[in-house]
Structure 1
């Protein structure tokens, strides 16, 4: 890239998660015996950047402007300055180079992009590439730092862990609930802690594994982690790998991935070169099916990108126009939109159930929210039909609705008031099913089993159930009552009566594991089956806040496949004959909706 570049052609690097091109740029400058000065952009940094560029133009040094998405106005200034200098090239030193690093930003000046050399520095893919990058950038002095027999295996284990935590990101929510920017600074901090810890050990004294695990999982890497279940995963990796077993000859992270302990860097590089280029998902603690999830996510992203750059104008060729297609779909949907709930009828029915009953209060809140969605859908579809006919003006919201309905996506105005879904078809089906559940509950009878996916606030549903159980028992206090559950052997169709206490919940799926119906416990996923439907679950409350049985796997329940704090509902406890750590590494969770 340096050979291709010219003084007035900036080199723009797009930052990818988990990689930073700065060390590579500085190393290249050192190798070519150039001075490289950097400024990190942000508020008030333009003054320093101007001075540095002026100095670079005079003296021929390399200038590195970092995080330029935080100084977009200054990017326009650079573009104009370079355009002027093109007229007087004699004012520019021939060894001057301008390096820019930025995150992808929609408002970055396009002209500057067009006049630049663009590159991106992605993190290495796979264990082999990750270890190769780590050991290639390591110095021999770093490897020779300690004579302790524990030192080299520990450094290799942290390097392997570093690669695994980065690689798990590509598997989406199965890998990490939130994709974190783990980078080489975390690896270096962990290695330096290991050096200090080994220095502090007396002769014959063993490693304090509790300390090492805590520093790696809760401080060095854990400092970036914000999700409780991701913290649990990181802690499990350290608990499984950072043990005395590490120093035995037959220790393996996974079949074929043992410990390397050599004295010289070239020996490591030679051995790493022999490793497989593509790793099975089990290397990262995941099931074989995780690879299907990864491939599907990549394909979906590609198709979404292709769809987003399609022309939005009406086609002049034959066939149905965009407007005609949307008009037909909107008309069909409008015919299926259910009528509004009659407030007086609803009030009458709720009074019959007992207006102060906690479950009835929950139902009233859900119906109020559903009413707003029904009214919004009806008004949007009516306005869209009128706008396509030319009776009213097509505003921004209607234009967005037209584009999204044509692309089989959910209009933004609906998403803001309702729930997310991958396609309009799935969303509209769920819309009708939700309405059906509320209508049946309100105007016929309380369901024997509840479809938890159909609630706006499933946490509120479980809290209402806890209140109901607490009130039924004299002397119980709500803050001393905890949720518990049993997975039954029944399907939804087999439920003919409500449970004596608590609620039955149906329509949930296991992600990352399968379900053994005969023995009612977790088992490995069936090959090529990504989600396993769970039988009806009996959720109830117990008058105890004592910790649950450690042999049970604490499985988080999420509303959608996107696992964040916003979609988290509650943990449920599932029986297993394997150690629960196995399922933590598998990333097992219960999803209410898999679309």
Structure 2
């Protein structure tokens, strides 16, 4: 049952039926109905379930998700592997060869690859907050799917105009999630940099590349694109994002500082979970090393 407006009673009815018969039930997107979760807890406590009954719950992280329900559940967290290469592989795993080859249009096949690259860049750029984006934006597979559908329809029905793509992606799809002026300018710059006749040149040699040493195939062969993706390095290069070469070092410093704070600040949830098990003096060498590193960087 996909939770949302009008699904609460249906979910409770299915819950009682499944618990009695020993079936499995999955309630999806519980982060959309956090107000309803206490009723779900009450219903669960009143059940006398069949021994084979299982209840699966799916949700995105939400600050108001009831902790009691979390504590009484076995939790599985899925986090996609980081990196542009892995991101592109996930995209092409979700696309069929028919989508790329439909219409036998090389420009369309190249546009889809550029869309996949653009999607990967805006997602993986979130690693470098605040230099990459000012905050974490929820660019999702829904945005990618909407973009692919738009490209497929435009290439099927009319001559594609890049201004149309720029406007739809900037105002209706990806840009709809961005609420910072400077981040909006970055997004616009990416769209103008990637979606143009110099990058997407069809069977002609491209005048501009997406990134160094990346030549977009001039075919509609699905395998050609997946082979290109497989040849990419596993670790992202800052040039892929238009960021300076030392951005990785800056990110490592920020990440290490966050880890150390989570272990030294008694008010953090992590410290609370281990309080009493690990003496605070155990982290003294780590804090000393971190302070020395920061002071040497500043000098």
The alignment's TM-score, normalised by the length of structure 2, stands at 0.78
How far apart, CA to CA, are the structure 2 residues paired with 1:61 and 1:260? 46
8 Å CA contact 1:75, 1:109 repeated in 2: no
8 Å CA contact 1:72, 1:108 repeated in 2: yes
1:122 equivalent among 74, 79, 85: 79
- What does 1:284-363 correspond to in 2, within 5 Å? 284-307=241-264, 308=268, 309-310=270-271
1:101 equivalent among 59, 66, 71: 59
How far apart, CA to CA, are the structure 1 residues paired with 2:122 and 2:221? 26
Q: 1:58-110 CA deviation, whole Å, 9 max, x = no partner?
A: 3725322313471331343255246x43xx52xx45xx542332425476334
- What does 1:34-183 correspond to in 2, within 5 Å? 37-40=1-4, 45-57=7-19, 58=21, 60-68=23-31, 70=34, 71-77=36-42, 79-81=44-46, 84-85=48-49, 89=51, 92-93=52-53, 96-105=54-63, 108-110=66-68, 112-183=69-140
> RMSD of the alignment, in Å?
3.2
The gaps in structure 1 that reach 5 residues or longer are 1-36, 320-527, 531-595
Q: 1:337-389 CA deviation, whole Å, 9 max, x = no partner?
A: xxxxxxxxxxxxxxxxxxxxxxxxxxxxxxxxxxxxxxxxxxxxxxxxxxxxx
Offset, 1:277:
0.6
- What does 1:338-417 correspond to in 2, within 5 Å? none
How far apart, CA to CA, are the structure 2 residues paired with 1:213 and 1:151? 16
Q: 1:451-494 CA deviation, whole Å, 9 max, x = no partner?
A: xxxxxxxxxxxxxxxxxxxxxxxxxxxxxxxxxxxxxxxxxxxx
Name the CA shift for 1:65/1:240 in 2 (closer, same or farther; >3 Å).
closer
Offset, 1:179:
1.9
How far apart, CA to CA, are the structure 1 residues paired with 2:167 and 2:91? 23
Name the CA shift for 1:67/1:297 in 2 (closer, same or farther; >3 Å).
farther
Structure-1 residue corresponding to 2:172: 219
Equivalent residue pairs, number:
270
How far apart, CA to CA, are the structure 2 residues paired with 1:145 and 1:216? 22
Structure-2 residue corresponding to 1:364: none
Name the CA shift for 1:55/1:168 in 2 (closer, same or farther; >3 Å).
same
Name the CA shift for 1:310/1:133 in 2 (closer, same or farther; >3 Å).
closer
1:237 equivalent among 171, 174, 190: 190
Q: 1:396-439 CA deviation, whole Å, 9 max, x = no partner?
A: xxxxxxxxxxxxxxxxxxxxxxxxxxxxxxxxxxxxxxxxxxxx
How far apart, CA to CA, are the structure 1 residues paired with 2:101 and 2:110? 13
Name the CA shift for 1:62/1:253 in 2 (closer, same or farther; >3 Å).
same
How far apart, CA to CA, are the structure 1 residues paired with 2:215 and 2:40? 49
| More deviation, 303-312/168-177 | 303-312
Q: 1:271-318 CA deviation, whole Å, 9 max, x = no partner?
A: 32232110111111111121122212222222222233446999xx9x
**Secondary structure, counterpart of 1:287 in structure 2:** coil
Q: Select the structure that is richer in helix.
A: 2
**Secondary structure, counterpart of 1:121 in structure 2:** coil
How far apart, CA to CA, are the structure 2 residues paired with 1:529 and 1:201? 56
- Is 1:279 the counterpart of 2:253? The answer is no
How far apart, CA to CA, are the structure 2 residues paired with 1:97 and 1:265? 39
Greater relative contact order (Cα 8 A, min sep 6): structure 1 or 2? Answer: 2
How far apart, CA to CA, are the structure 1 residues paired with 2:275 and 2:156? 69
Name the CA shift for 1:78/1:304 in 2 (closer, same or farther; >3 Å).
farther
Offset, 1:256:
2.4
Structure-1 residue corresponding to 2:158: 201
8 Å CA contact 1:289, 1:529 repeated in 2: no
Structure-2 residue corresponding to 1:470: none
